[in-house]
Structure 1
Amino acid sequence: MDNPLPKSWSIHTRPEIIAKYQILERVGAGAYSDVYKGRRLSDNLIVALKEVHDYQSAFREIEALQILQGSPNVVVLHEYFWREDEDAVLVLEFLRSDLASVISDAKRESGLSVGAIKRWMVQILCGVDACHRNMIVHRDLKPGNLLVGDDGVLKLADFGQARILLDHELVAADDNPPPFEPDTADQENICQAPQAGHENASQKGYVNQEPEGMSKEDSFRELDEVKAKHSMHETDKETNVDDGNASCFATCTTSDIEDDPFKSSYSYEAEEAENDERGAFTSCVGTRWFRSPELLYGSTAYGLEVDLWSLGCIFAELFTLRPLFPGTSDIDQLSRIISVLGNLTEEVWPGCVKLPDYQTISFCKVEDPSGLESCLPNRSTDEISLVRKLVCYDPASRASAAELLHDKYFNEEPLPVPTSELRVPLTKGNQDEDSPGGWYDDMGSDSDFDEFGPLNVTTTNSGFSIRFS
């Protein structure tokens, strides 16, 4: 008997797909998805076909993109295919570059102008604002998940880790919320209008080849029926393994699993399937360099604010073309943050002592934190202030995307340039050569503490405490 085709090649044998799309080439691959460049036979539109091998990731991405349909700075879901015995295949708009490539290209060339930085930021804020208005927390915002088209339009992608904080029935009461348009002197709307030719995703998406044109409510109902066919342990497990180099084409999430001898003291073992009933999430989401302090300390009761911290890290990187906190492990990540912001205390964040791992991991007092100014050399007061509004310990103190769109920074000269003037790399380039193991691949392990100096482990009633000098 002939050997069966690998699972990642099943897309080539599914008649409902090849009847509508020509598969051109595989452009990305990871642990939970494979992405192909394709051509829609009806009109020759180039698309990305994302074959997702994990049920939970597929459910999350489809639900989020259906709710966000029509949002100009969110990747378009044209349709999707799903059969009980096959992986989900999402048909997405094809965007050949991402913000990570923009930053890498700018680092090699002459940097980014203030006007270009502002336009990139405004587009990111519009996409995040659309998510948060619909109570969707992305949970893995980073430059590699911000895709860029040839026209300079940036779109949020890779919603495999996204969570909807309200039931979709409640969100669907306002199917098409108006785009946020702050006052601005710029001639180009800060939140751009949807691109012509992008059909409404609810008119194209379907499960098990249901007729096109079904309503959003029917589409969600069909999706719920598919969910019900799979056991809870399959559909609600976390998809947190490194997804290789597939992320730039709206693939599954890139994250990091560590060989951590102290993992039992963290909260990463919590399964969302078990926690959903009490509204708790897992803390092991996102990519470490952009992960908020509450996640690093094991919180499972977080909200939209984790995305805002990630935004601050992305904005800082646009200013400096370097990652703000490039930690080599979760402990190193916290150490870098504390060296800049100072120690995490009740004075700066009331209630922080209740974080699951706050009593387990502690650092010696930082007498003279360097401050964000040291991380943003040669940047203006307004630029440092913008980052400070996001990169702060207390989640309640972080400015929302909607608030930042009104910030005076975007209404003062130089104004955001039109998207047509943005430089878009011709191809997705290599990631930052100074990053350990590539930007988002293997980011190290917490198993080596030599770099931190003396280490004290103390037995406590609940386990042990680790203190770093």
Structure 2
Amino acid sequence: MDPPAKSWSIHMRSEITAKYDVIGRVGSGAYADVYEGRRRSDGAAVALKEVHDSQSASREIEALRILKGSQNVVVLHEFFWREDEDAVLVLEFLGTDLAAVIGKGGVGVGEVKRWMVQALSAVDECHRNMIVHRDLKPANFLVSDDGVLKLADFGQARILVECGFDGHQEDDDASNSERSLQQHPEAISQLDNLNQTEHENPDQRTLSHEEYFRVLDEMKTKSYSYDTDKEANIHDGNTSCLATCTTSDIDDELCKGSFTYEAEEVGGNELGCLTSCVGTRWFRAPELLYGSTDYGVEVDLWSLGCVFAELLTSKPLFPGTSDVDQLSRIVSVLGNINEETWPGCPKLPDYGKISFFKVENPSGLEACLPNCTPDEVSLVKRLVCYDPDKRATAMELLQDKYFSEVPLPVPVSELRVPLISIGQDKDRPGGHNEMGSDSDLEEFRTLNITTTDSDFSIQIP
């Protein structure tokens, strides 16, 4: 008999099987496999996520530790990680996701509003803790049987850390990121104030839109840098699916074990800049499509706008087949990208490499959101706009009048949750989980390409 594949090594790890029964694999991807499990002590359902990439595992564990206790973020119960073995994260088990909600259709306005409020709460919690998720999409918003929406799959997430971060986790009560944030209490206290009120108390807001991003920018440029990215797309396909149902908290002691990983260096990236090759293409912000490595939480806000548009229409907003096609679809709707519509855009790394013929009459978001109310269109517009600085924060949108007007968001208990059998193929038509290659050169055969000794230029009709 052939030895079991590496992705099934979880069955041979005694420290895991002593505590959990591994029932079967329910999702897999290039960087992780997810199994349904049962905790032997009480029979509770769990998701066992075996992550094959150490950097991705480190980031996901770190992000979930920081977000511990957040109502709309998936719970990490514990993790197993030892030398020469993949990390295994024990997560709460959720039966379905927002993609399934969208797929079943017929979602009422009150339900749409409640799903949106929960998604905004999850993203707000991330951003106040200096976490950029970088892969927001319907399939990564998981849903419990009782209608609680929780953000999952933090393998691409990035956390603001101190300059000089060496990629090693110390064995103490606070994570590197937590310690870094604690060293700037004046900035963190301002950001924490953003969560003191929600949309029910808009008059008590303590920071304006500009002040919010000013605090973030100061922390990023003056005292922090991001951890170094790999020049690769980390995409787990279905590995974020099916993670919940239990409500037990993480035992503090379970997350105190030490682990280390090597932060892979990227050539020419002395400051540990971010990579633009992140996220699922349909939800990728235009600054990423133009190769930006200097971005922040605003990329999540664009993605969230695309998620909301799909929730409202049951159709993807910009279903591009390549990065260039993705940009082309965006331009055809929002219009030309220039200094007037996006101050500073010529500074984007690939801005001069890809140009589009002038769009005289862009269709506008209204055409993409048929049968939507002006308030719904306005909500999406506040997120899906070229200039990152003009995108509304999650906190600001929680206070939008849309959520306080009739019909009001329905109680979570009244949400209709679709049921998906464990192990069912969750690939959606249209390729929510299809990334393809990050290089679009194979698709340029019919385009006008001008090359030089050191560069190339693409003009797309």
Does the alignment reach a TM-score above 0.5?
A: yes
Distance 1:65 1:415, change over 3 A: same
Distance 1:40 1:430, change over 3 A: closer
Counterpart in 2 of 1:88? Answer: 87
Code of the residue aligned with 2:19 in structure 1: it is K
Provide the C-alpha distance between the structure 2 equivalents of 1:16 and 1:172, rounded to a whole number of angstroms.
34
Distance 1:319 1:272, change over 3 A: farther
Give the 3-state SS of the residue equivalent to 1:358 in structure 2: coil
Give the 3-state SS of the residue equivalent to 2:145 in structure 1: coil
Deviations 1:292-346 (A, max 9, x none): 0000000011111000000000000011000000001111100000000001000
Asked whether 1:340 is paired with 2:339, we answer: no
The answer as to whether partners of 1:100 and 1:431 remain within 8 angstroms in 2 is no
Give the 3-state SS of the residue equivalent to 1:24 in structure 2: strand
Provide the C-alpha distance between the structure 1 equivalents of 2:229 and 2:151, rounded to a whole number of angstroms.
23
Asked whether 1:131 is paired with 2:123, we answer: no
Unmatched runs of 5 consecutive residues or more in structure 1: 186-231, 252-270
The answer as to whether partners of 2:199 and 2:400 remain within 8 angstroms in 1 is no
> Once the 2 structures are TM-superposed, how far is the Cα of residue 112 of structure 1 from its aligned partner?
1.1
Counterpart in 1 of 2:260? Answer: none
> Once the 2 structures are TM-superposed, how far is the Cα of residue 51 of structure 1 from its aligned partner?
0.7
- 1:54-73 to 2 correspondences below 5 Å: 54-73=53-72
The answer as to whether partners of 2:74 and 2:151 remain within 8 angstroms in 1 is yes
Code of the residue aligned with 1:464 in structure 2: it is F
Counterpart in 2 of 1:99? Answer: 98
Distance 1:327 1:115, change over 3 A: same
Picking from 438, 458, 461, the partner of 1:466 is 458
Code of the residue aligned with 2:161 in structure 1: it is L
The answer as to whether partners of 1:140 and 1:307 remain within 8 angstroms in 2 is yes
> Once the 2 structures are TM-superposed, how far is the Cα of residue 170 of structure 1 from its aligned partner?
2.3
Give the 3-state SS of the residue equivalent to 2:396 in structure 1: helix
Code of the residue aligned with 2:448 in structure 1: it is N
The answer as to whether partners of 2:229 and 2:273 remain within 8 angstroms in 1 is no
Counterpart in 2 of 1:45? Answer: 44
The answer as to whether partners of 1:145 and 1:250 remain within 8 angstroms in 2 is no
Picking from 317, 328, 339, the partner of 1:324 is 317
Counterpart in 2 of 1:406? Answer: 399
Distance 1:432 1:20, change over 3 A: closer
The answer as to whether partners of 2:49 and 2:239 remain within 8 angstroms in 1 is no
Deviations 1:251-309 (A, max 9, x none): 9xxxxxxxxxxxxxxxxxxx864466424111000000000000000001111100000
Deviations 1:366-413 (A, max 9, x none): 000011000011111111110000000000000000111111111111
Unmatched runs of 5 consecutive residues or more in structure 2: 163-176, 202-226, 245-263
Asked whether 1:248 is paired with 2:241, we answer: yes
Asked whether 1:142 is paired with 2:124, we answer: no
Counterpart in 1 of 2:305? Answer: 312
Code of the residue aligned with 2:180 in structure 1: it is L
Provide the C-alpha distance between the structure 1 equivalents of 2:62 and 2:160, rounded to a whole number of angstroms.
12
> Once the 2 structures are TM-superposed, how far is the Cα of residue 54 of structure 1 from its aligned partner?
0.6
Provide the C-alpha distance between the structure 1 equivalents of 2:374 and 2:416, rounded to a whole number of angstroms.
26
The TM-score with structure 1 as length reference comes to 0.79
Picking from 290, 295, 303, the partner of 1:302 is 295
The answer as to whether partners of 1:308 and 1:401 remain within 8 angstroms in 2 is yes
Counterpart in 1 of 2:112? Answer: 117
Counterpart in 1 of 2:147? Answer: 152
Counterpart in 2 of 1:35? Answer: 34
Give the 3-state SS of the residue equivalent to 2:59 in structure 1: helix
Deviations 1:30-88 (A, max 9, x none): 11111111111112111001111110110010000000000100000000001012110
Give the 3-state SS of the residue equivalent to 1:278 in structure 2: coil
> Once the 2 structures are TM-superposed, how far is the Cα of residue 241 of structure 1 from its aligned partner?
5.2
Q: Please, which moves more after superposition, 34-43 or 114-123? A: 34-43
Counterpart in 1 of 2:167? Answer: none
Provide the C-alpha distance between the structure 1 equivalents of 2:232 and 2:14, rounded to a whole number of angstroms.
29
Counterpart in 2 of 1:189? Answer: none
- 1:98-247 to 2 correspondences below 5 Å: 98-106=97-105, 111-167=106-162, 168=177, 169-172=179-182, 180-184=196-200, 237-238=230-231, 240=233, 242-247=235-240
> Once the 2 structures are TM-superposed, how far is the Cα of residue 6 of structure 1 from its aligned partner?
1.7
Give the 3-state SS of the residue equivalent to 2:408 in structure 1: coil
The answer as to whether partners of 2:156 and 2:234 remain within 8 angstroms in 1 is no
Counterpart in 2 of 1:18? Answer: 17
Provide the C-alpha distance between the structure 2 equivalents of 1:431 and 1:104, rounded to a whole number of angstroms.
11
The answer as to whether partners of 2:146 and 2:413 remain within 8 angstroms in 1 is yes
> Once the 2 structures are TM-superposed, how far is the Cα of residue 238 of structure 1 from its aligned partner?
4.8
Distance 1:45 1:238, change over 3 A: farther
The answer as to whether partners of 2:140 and 2:152 remain within 8 angstroms in 1 is yes
Counterpart in 2 of 1:261? Answer: none
Code of the residue aligned with 1:357 in structure 2: it is D
> Once the 2 structures are TM-superposed, how far is the Cα of residue 5 of structure 1 from its aligned partner?
2.7
The TM-score with structure 2 as length reference comes to 0.80
Aligned residues: 392
Code of the residue aligned with 1:121 in structure 2: it is M
Counterpart in 1 of 2:414? Answer: 421
Provide the C-alpha distance between the structure 1 equivalents of 2:136 and 2:151, rounded to a whole number of angstroms.
8
> Once the 2 structures are TM-superposed, how far is the Cα of residue 27 of structure 1 from its aligned partner?
0.9
Provide the C-alpha distance between the structure 2 equivalents of 1:461 and 1:389, rounded to a whole number of angstroms.
41
Percent of aligned positions that are identical: 67
